[in-house]
Amino acid sequence: MPTFQYGTTAIEYDIEYTTNKNDISIIIEWMEGVRIIAPQGIASEQVEGIIHKKAPVILQKLREVNEITNPPSPKEFISGEKFAYLGRKYRLKVYREEGLKKAGLAFVRGKFIATIPATMNEDEKRRQLRELFKNWYLVHGKAKLQSRLDLYSAKMGVTPKDLQLKEQRMRWGTCTPEGNIYLNWRIVMAPMPVVDYVLVHELAHLRYMNHSSDYWNFVRSILPDYEKHKEWLRLNGPALTLE
């Protein structure tokens, strides 16, 4: 992914070239980051010159789109609280037990069961359970997403090299030129059709490393209603968090 340095800030961006434009458009979306749409054949120096000129506006817009108007309530990790996995919400039950050294987490009969030391304070409880939930999502989400990746890879006639779930502050997914696909681990909280959209979005880049009309037509051929899932993610993505 191209990166432009503005002062001490690195601005990452995607660039899409098109034949039906004469100027450059800059689009900024939550979790999608900065996307540049430029005329085919434009010099990279000209693109960077425009980004430099617009950098203060881009940074301000990035700050704005990442300020959620109605942020979700911070997770307290208390009994009765619900946690999403593949679009469904499951309740948490917390037990304090004597003799424990650290917190533990399991998923049993449709509930998350947490065990914590009897004397653990609230701040430490939240810290440990947040990390345990993240690890649970990484392990269980990876297995589920791998099966969906295999399904759509066969449908789309592409062969990704690897799939990894990782921390990504500004993106739901990334596809590298080498064929590696990285997904934001928080996506496993979303409904499966939305997860499928993110997978198809990245897999399509193995054929088109851009967001051209051919690219979107390819995505549409696999998921005719992809725009609905893209919009769901735009509206509900900020709530997919453990913070």
User: Given CA atoms 170, 172, 175, 180 in this order, what sign does their dihedral have?
Assistant: positive
The confidence score (pLDDT) of residue 221 equals: 97
Q: Which residues pair with 33 in a beta bridge?
A: 29
Residue 8: φ, ψ to 5°: -95, 5
b/e map 136-160, b = 16+ CB within 10 Å: bbeeebbeebeebbeebbeebebeb
The confidence score (pLDDT) of residue 116 equals: 97
The confidence score (pLDDT) of residue 162 equals: 94
Q: Which of 46, 55, 53, 43 is nearest to 12 (CA)?
A: 55
CA distances from 160 to 58, 137, 151, 195 (A): 32, 22, 12, 17
Q: Rounded to an integer, what distance in angstroms lies between the CA atom of residue 95 and that of residue 108?
A: 14
Helices (H), the chain: 44-65, 122-156, 192-204, 213-222, 226-236
Q: Rounded to an integer, what distance in angstroms lies between the CA atom of residue 113 and that of residue 105?
A: 6
3-state secondary structure of 68: coil
Q: Rounded to an integer, what distance in angstroms lies between the CA atom of residue 205 and that of residue 64?
A: 28
pTM for this model (two decimals) = 0.74
If phi > 0 it is left, if psi is from -120 to 50 it is alpha, else beta; for residue 110 that is: left
The confidence score (pLDDT) of residue 127 equals: 95
> What is the bridge-based pairing of β-strands 9-18 and 33-39?
parallel
Could you report the per-residue pLDDT of 138-149, keeping only the tens digit for each? Answer: 999 999 999 999
pLDDT by 10s per residue, the chain, length 243: 678 788 887 888 888 888 877 788 888 876 567 888 888 888 888 888 888 888 888 888 777 766 554 556 789 999 999 999 999 999 999 999 999 999 999 999 999 999 999 999 999 999 999 999 999 999 999 999 999 999 999 999 999 999 999 987 667 888 988 999 999 999 999 999 999 999 999 999 999 988 888 999 999 999 999 999 998 888 888 889 898
Could you report the per-residue pLDDT of 155-204, keeping only the tens digit for each? Answer: 999 999 999 999 876 678 889 889 999 999 999 999 999 999 999 999 99
User: Given CA atoms 179, 48, 217, 188 in this order, what sign does their dihedral have?
Assistant: positive
The first and second tokens of residue 13, run together, are 């961006």
The confidence score (pLDDT) of residue 214 equals: 92
Q: Which of 51, 25, 152 is nearest to 173 (CA)?
A: 152
User: Given CA atoms 111, 112, 118, 119 in this order, what sign does their dihedral have?
Assistant: negative
> What is the bridge-based pairing of β-strands 33-39 and 25-29?
antiparallel
| Domains, in order of start, for the chain | 3-65 (no CATH), 82-132 (no CATH), 140-239 (3.30.2010.10)
